[in-house]
Amino acid sequence: MSSVASTTTPDAQGHFGPYGGRFVPETLVHPLQELEEEYLRSQDDPEFQREFQYYLREFCGRPTPLYFAERLTKELNGAKIYLKREDLLHTGAHKINNCIGQILLAKRMGKTRIIAETGAGQHGVATATVAAMFGLKCVIYMGAVDCDRQALNVYRMKMLGADVVPVTAGQKTLKEAINEAMRDWVTNVRTTHYILGTVYGAHPYPVMVRNFQRIIGDEARRQILEKEERLPDLLIACVGGGSNAMGLFYPFLNDSSVRMVGVEAGGEGIISGKHAARFQGGSLGVLQGTRSFLLQDEDGQIQLTHSVSAGLDYAAVGPEHAWLRDLKRVEYSYATDEEALHAFIRLARLEGIIPALESAHAVAEVIKRAPELPTDRLIIVNLSGRGDKDVEQVAGKVKL
């Protein structure tokens, strides 16, 4: 019988239904094949799996708790809410899970140099961290505008020994940084591995990153069965490229009783046009190696996006999400900047946990949904990261 999970296993060319694939210059076809082969070998290699688990545990701090949010539950007076605490990981978010997996692959392939792109700097910091830990050279591409906006993260990466290259092309943000990283990879592919930060880009990145992140859902599944002796009714996660959401959702895809909601950045509202909700007004297109839902105009020009949270502020979404939406397996909604900021403060005051602004979008969704569910229902919200990085941003927007 074909299950949802097997339906979303991509074909040999990396297609999830009509989405995904490998849209790259000729020079990158071979390196991507090499990466795919090494990745497939590593999946069957107990030694690789042992090493991966070792660093997740000893370096990153896994397993992360599945924490019962008692006061939030009481206040919303509906379903019982659990938080998956990815915010407690080393470097403060789920991104390190994927970075550990990919740098172990890079080492197996004999690469000596790591490159990555970063928007807000979170993926850059996680990449610089694992590169330092393994003693590999590291170059991070970052839009010049983002370098100014996230000066502290630039300095953090430099402290960790990385070279940070400001990208001055185009709008000088994440999209241009990815283009520069691809250009570097084409030129230096013999020595260099490109650690892409989410379930995006050319095959095998979307499936590989999802599988490095599925540890989130594997743990959550085990933990909820231990605590409640049953599966949750609803999973909620924010969706930028979509890696923390895929990581949580994937191990539950075949459990038909478990509903799932991905939350995009609604920015200043869908009508304003200032948002990053690809499933509200986006359309099918190809960008940076893959086919998926994009915010683009009629000429295929990529639109400007906006979100209070830099980690959700991107014009495209991972191809597997587009497919899961077509299959009606996952529902996609959005939270506005205002709703996310409200959820940010509310979680801080009710639970003593300051979430990342990205994660606050998922919290905003639980604030809407929990009161509508009976008290015997269970919700798991993925707290993808912690909010220390966002304190200054929020201070500029919320009067206390």
Distance CA(132)–CA(202), nearest Å, equals 26
Nearer to ligand PLP, 45 or 59 (CB): 59
**Least distance (Å) from ligand PLP to the CB of residue 111?**
23
**Least distance (Å) from ligand PLP to the CB of residue 126?**
8
Nearer to ligand PLP, 32 or 312 (CB): 312
- The catalytic residue among 80, 84, 95, 111 is 95
Active site residue 256: no
Q: Which residues bind ligand PLP (CB under 6 A)?
A: 93, 95, 122, 198, 238-245, 311-312, 356, 358-359, 384-385
Q: Identify the DSSP state of 371.
A: G
Can you tell me whether residue 162 is helix, strand or coil? coil
Nearer to ligand PLP, 115 or 238 (CB): 238
- DSSP letters, 167-231, are E-STTSSHHHHHHHHHHHHHHHTTTEEE---SS-SSTTHHHHHHHHHTHHHHHHHHHHHHHHSS-
Nearer to ligand PLP, 56 or 189 (CB): 56
Q: Please classify residue 218 by burial: count the beta carbons closer than 10 Å to its beta carbon, then call 0-12 exposed, 13-18 middle and 19+ buried.
A: middle
**Least distance (Å) from ligand PLP to the CB of residue 155?**
18
Nearer to ligand PLP, 24 or 239 (CB): 239
**Least distance (Å) from ligand PLP to the CB of residue 242?**
5
- DSSP letters, 268-330, are T-TTTS-SB-TTTT-EEEEETTEEEEE-B-TT-PBPP---SSGGG--SB--HHHHHHHHTTSS
Instruction: Give the end-to-end CA distance of the chain in Å, rounded to a whole number.
Output: 55
| Sequence-ordered list of residues with C-beta below 8 angstroms from that of 209, at least 6 positions apart, any chain | 98, 196, 197, 198, 199, 200, 243, 246
- The catalytic residue among 243, 307, 333, 384 is 384
Residue with tokens 């069957």: 44
Active site residue 307: no
**Least distance (Å) from ligand PLP to the CB of residue 354?**
12
Q: Identify the DSSP state of 93.
A: B
**Least distance (Å) from ligand PLP to the CB of residue 214?**
13
- The catalytic residue among 38, 86, 117, 219 is 117
Nearer to ligand PLP, 217 or 385 (CB): 385
Nearer to ligand PLP, 143 or 189 (CB): 143
Residue with tokens 């030694």: 47
Contact present, 217 and 253 (Cβ < 8 Å): no
Distance CA(287)–CA(342), nearest Å, equals 33
Edge-first strand listing for the sheet containing 15-16:
15-16, 19-20, 290-294, 283-287
- Nearest residue to ligand PLP, using CB? 385
Active site residue 328: no
**Least distance (Å) from ligand PLP to the CB of residue 178?**
13
Q: Which residues are catalytic?
A: 95, 117, 384
